[in-house]
Structure 1
Amino acid sequence: MPRPRLLAPSRILRSTPRQIGGGRSREALVRRARESIEKGSKSFAMASRLFDRHTREKAWLLYAWCRRCDDIADGQDHGGELKLDEADAKDRIEAIRVLTRRALDGQPTAELAFDALGQVAMEAGLTQDMTDDVIEGFALDAAGWRPRSELDMMRYCYHVAGAVGVMMAQVMGVPADDQDTLDRACDLGLAFQLNNIARDVWEDDAAGRCYLPMEWLVEADIPPGQHMKPQYRGKLVELVARMVGMAEQHEAAARLGAARLGFRQRWAILSAANIYGAIGREVRARGAAAWDHRVHISKTAKLRHVARAFREALRKPPEPEQMPRWTRGEILVAVRMAGPVAPIPMTPLPDDF
């Protein structure tokens, strides 16, 4: 019987060649990434301008990927109104995973933000474990997950911001084996996200989400899903003040790590810390009126925070009064325990004879 003919001769079949950045020029990736950060986050855009050019461009490339993943997961365009569709939520997360892995493998993705990730990953030594940790935060949201305990909340904060802080530290040149500085970078991300949760309690509730630990709500005698009701506003203010206090501890710890960076990097990081810290402190200061209007920091106030960061970058940071309760190591244990069981290695046993 004659052998069936292949659709194409095997000698002309070729695997797709590796093309870092999806075959796009670095200049084009940087230009579009800059447009993304200027549209999506004026605070980060302002702070990033303080970096040296090469660090600034890598930060933009990383931001573009984070922003695009967030938009795909939530059906948004650079933030704005959530357009959640639970029917295809898992498909959207799987698409993020596939495109991310292709980018890290040096394959074109037809998505500029993912091609940008491939470029910055090659330049800064970012790994799939790092991106998987970030994507898991989007997967938790897609599954309608809510934190039961304080540790659960911190695990979520790690996925969506602490892990990004670690990646950002490597973008700035922190060695992968400098674990203490990476811990401090994680602290900054955790501080950012805790402040974000405090600010966005009303918006999250409107979207059917809640990132306040259930145990906190039980302790405050607030029924599940009722924390935005007027009769519980006083207790909610206390819980959010507790959260902002945690953010301040992580922020103070992060300043220790910032002191090990070059001056321009230190200035940029302290500027971002000041701006995001101001958000949480403003939420706390407004008390029961914190969610009547969304807290934002004016451009003039941001410039003041940048100027203050310049002075802070010139001197040694003060020692924190108290280090944060949750460390990166403890959170990572919870992250790995919550993840899938690692496959059993199938390597043969050594021959004793």
Structure 2
Amino acid sequence: MSALPKYGSIQECVEDFIKYRDTTRVLSALREYLNQRIFGRLIGVEHTFKLEDGTGITPDLTLAYENDSACCFIELKWRISQSSIKNELLDLKRYFNARQSLNGSSQKVTHNDIIMICHINDSNVVIDAVNELAGTPDVGFLKQEGVAIWSWYLGIPKGADTDANPEMRFGWLYGKTRNLELEKKIRMPGGIVIPASIAFSPTDRYLFTKDKPPVHYAMAFLLQHILSSFQDSTHRSQVIPLSLGMVDELYEKSKIFFPGWRDAESETIQARKEWIREAVDLIIQLKIKVSVPLPRTRKTIQQVLCARLERLRQKSRGAGPRVRKLRVRPDTMSAKLSTWFNSKT
């Protein structure tokens, strides 16, 4: 039985869903932005490089420049906590020290850049950790040229309607890359701006990054995008029987939404199947009737799932049903109590 996610509130659960969803948009938008060949040659998304020691690195995005003699690795982090940030920063050293020829090029890579991009809300956690680690001998590479940290956020364009799709903005936080064109752009007032037409393009978009999503995000993905394909064309509405035995079939229908799915290694495929298995298990635990089409509700799917997961968590802890307090305005309290008392006598 899959473990229930732990959140301090339903709102925190919803925010994690939105944060991961928007990070997938960042990945897709950055791919389009970097593919303009202004900054170099985009190698790919989640392209794995084998290193001399036999291990591999899989950055979210890889950009080659200076005639393929230099490489820029980009790592997207949808969530960073105080407990994880130090390990995240230490792991960047593997990218920084990688030296090899790029696929399709005979030119040997002479130097690498690594850019970590985090959500703007995590900026303080990241910079505090960098300042703390910068004096440590093992992480001296953080002070070297070629290591940079950016932030991203979504904002409504100036003068646009409040219900317009936001544009995507990237800002400089720390360090410097050796890609002069990219460095010039990020240092401009306002940073790098990707318009809403690209950031929210409905076509050719990834719905996952390489990092594990919140389980309720995977649940919503299956309910909204995958399970509808099981509908019998002869019926307008039907309930789909869901079981853990369907995980392999669900992955086959889902894999095109994962970046780098064509070249994914067996370990990556198994990890993604586990994400789906956990999501299916919790859909079953919540006793959600998977019907096509999904029933309409005033709330968003993330609000519904987060609320139901919280109720299941309370139930698993033995908490009783939540009792609503009767709120009565002071000036009518006496009248209401009198009416109630008279009805009982």
TM tier, smaller? under 0.3
Q: Higher Cα Rg: structure 1 or 2?
A: 2
- TM superposition score normalised by structure 2: 0.24
Higher strand share: 2
Instruction: Give the helix-richer structure, 1 or 2.
Output: 1
